[in-house]
Structure 1
Amino acid sequence: MAAMHELREVVGILKDGGAQEEPTAQAASRVVAGIEALVESAAAAGTPVRLERSGEPRPLAPAADHAAYRVAQEGLTNAYKHAPGAPITVSLRYEPDSLVVEVANGPVPGETGPWPGAVSGGQGLMGLRERARLVGGMVHAGPVDAGGFRLAGVLPYETGEARETTFGDAADDFRQQTGGEIPGDGGPVIDWSDPREEFKNIMASTRRNHGCLIGCGAGVLILVGLVVALVFGAGKLLDEVDKAVIAPSVYASVHVGDPEERVREKLPSGKSFFTIDAERQAPPEPPGAGCLTLLSTDASKGLSTDTVYRFCFKDGKLIEKREFDVQN
């Protein structure tokens, strides 16, 4: 038994990345007795929730007592986040051999269709199941036939094994096993000594998450816009290059005296901002001629020098073709 307990401690530390103890004053409120205050806080905040009790109350081992509180906490958080406005019932049923803690919510008003399934984030339910297993209990979660969702924990009364582990034990603390967070709500858990303050924190955290989702969505839209702008800009740049550049082989393929129409078929329009400097540095044009200035794809003269080709037309013919260099 001692070896098993040590193994559980090692597993808990590995999950947590380090052991931390929950202050006794705060942990003391996180037991079955604290569930009523948690429900009262939820009701005061406008959540349609009620607490039901049945059976003769019996004491639980500290770890089971703490696990019962966690079931109620997770169930209320889950219902508040994923079924806002739905009626919630928290039940404490003292059976002959165990306490059953159940949080059940109905469907969201105005919505139809089945509940999608266990939506608390997976890790939250896994942590609860592990906590219950360590004290010999179990946790069930799933949709109900009439609509809505049900989370229930079955926790045995005090046993010898359960007596070994206290609810302040870092190895078994659910929040520590999940990195100090309730998975699904996206923020750190602040351990309030008053359950009413804790529920307020849950609701505030949910609202912050909604704001984060909106902000993240806006960030994604901005990023997409930048990508589109870059792609569009790159396309425009390539268009400008296509209008201004030819290969040396194209220059060599035309000859003075060739019909202007046939020469222009081989050449781009030249209407590009890339040719502005070349036109400014070009030699004087032949009188009465119309000239087209283009850049060569030949970059053998270095980045500071461009090879330029100029074609001059008059009376429907190519009267001059000229190659010269300009400095960038």
Structure 2
Amino acid sequence: MRTQQISTHDAAGTQDLLPWPALMEEIARAARDIEAGRLCAPARQAVPFPGGAVMLSMPATAADVGIHKLVNVAPGNRARGLPTISGMVSVYDGETGQLRLLLDGPAVTTRRTAAVSMLAVSRLLPGGPRHAVVFGTGTQAAGHVRALLDLHPGVRVDVIGHAPGRAERFVSAFDPDRVRPAGRVDPAADLIVTATTSATPVYDQPARAGRLVVGVGAYRDDLAEIGVRTLADSHLFVDDPEGARHEAGDYLQAGVDWASVRSLAGLLADRPPEGAAVFKSVGCAAWDLAAARCALRFDHVLERNSS
């Protein structure tokens, strides 16, 4: 029997296998598969390390592919000059269970999270954002800024940091004509992205038609980036309803009516509502499986081009 070659990709190589349009297409496919029961993605398991670190295990399977994302989150690594998050995504053939790919875990997480947000943006701001504001200066903020620049050539992005000088240092990695530091939300902004780990809301303006709010940072019930004033009069969406009931701190602290919260699959299937909207993303292994499908597709292209 012929042994199948295993491809291993570092962070840069993993990003190359996940172009935005194709990745968004695969996430939409995965969302439909979840709704139809064709994809299994159980809740992630967290196993503690000493010193406040944690190992996160996230498997998912479908008929064509299976994945296991194993990442470690070690906050103490900042003081050591090491990345806070490390790990990998292993990709398996759905029929044989054989290992096909090894992908960089943080790169997959950053890329697929931004792609989920951009998929929601494409539905809830169908004309595309013209002026975005991003709260945060970490990895997820950078991933969202890059996605906005790549997918929306005319967009301007303001970045708001929580400490003096953070936003200025952050924007130096991008085109200064398109990405700028800011101290407040410009009234003309039509897209707000919160990508922080704040325990108190960083954005709590009244809901406004024509302005979409996307929250990606608050992933525990004790965190909240988006305030009650914004949520109270907005149409509410989440990427993963099951996970959100335990992890979407913004929604949990606001006491939202979960019967009124719609899923990503529902957003893709139905006509988008009129009026203000909030899309909350907590992440799930289904989106990592979508990234794996995308990576397999483009890994084959690279193989053909190199042969």
TM score, norm. by length of structure 1:
0.23
Indicate the structure (1 or 2) with the bigger Cα radius of gyration. 1
Higher helix share: 1
Higher relative contact order (CA 8 A, sep 6+): 2
TM-score normalised over the length of structure 2: 0.24
